[in-house]
Amino acid sequence: MRLWRMDTGQPLDGPPLSHRNVIVVGFSPDGRQIASADDSSNVRLWSRAPARDSARNATHSTGASTGGSQWVAVKLSFSATQISSLAFSTDGSLLAVASDDGVRLWDTRTGRAVGSLPLAARESPVQHLAFTPDGALIGSTDEGTVLQWLSPSTWAGLLCAKLTRNISRTDWQQQVSPQIAYKAPCPALPVPP
pLDDT of residue 59: 39
C-alpha span between 53 and 56 (Å, rounded)? 6
pLDDT of residue 58: 33
C-alpha span between 187 and 168 (Å, rounded)? 13
pLDDT of residue 55: 39
C-alpha span between 71 and 139 (Å, rounded)? 29
- 51 pLDDT tier (thresholds 50, 70, 90): low
Handedness of CA 71, 74, 75, 77 (dihedral sign): negative
Mean of pLDDT values over 4-33: 85
- 161 pLDDT tier (thresholds 50, 70, 90): very high
More confident of the two residues 125 and 62: 125
Per residue in 70-87, pLDDT tens?
Answer: 778 788 876 667 888 999
Given a cut of 90, whether residue 123 has pLDDT beyond it is no
Given a cut of 90, whether residue 66 has pLDDT beyond it is no
- Highest mean pLDDT of the ranges 28-32, 98-102, 142-146: 28-32
Question: What CATH number belongs to 22-151?
Answer: 2.130.10.10
pLDDT of residue 164: 94
Given a cut of 50, whether residue 178 has pLDDT beyond it is yes
Average pLDDT, the chain: 81
Over its C-alpha atoms, the chain yields an Rg (Å, rounded) of 20
Domain boundaries, the chain: 22-151, 163-193
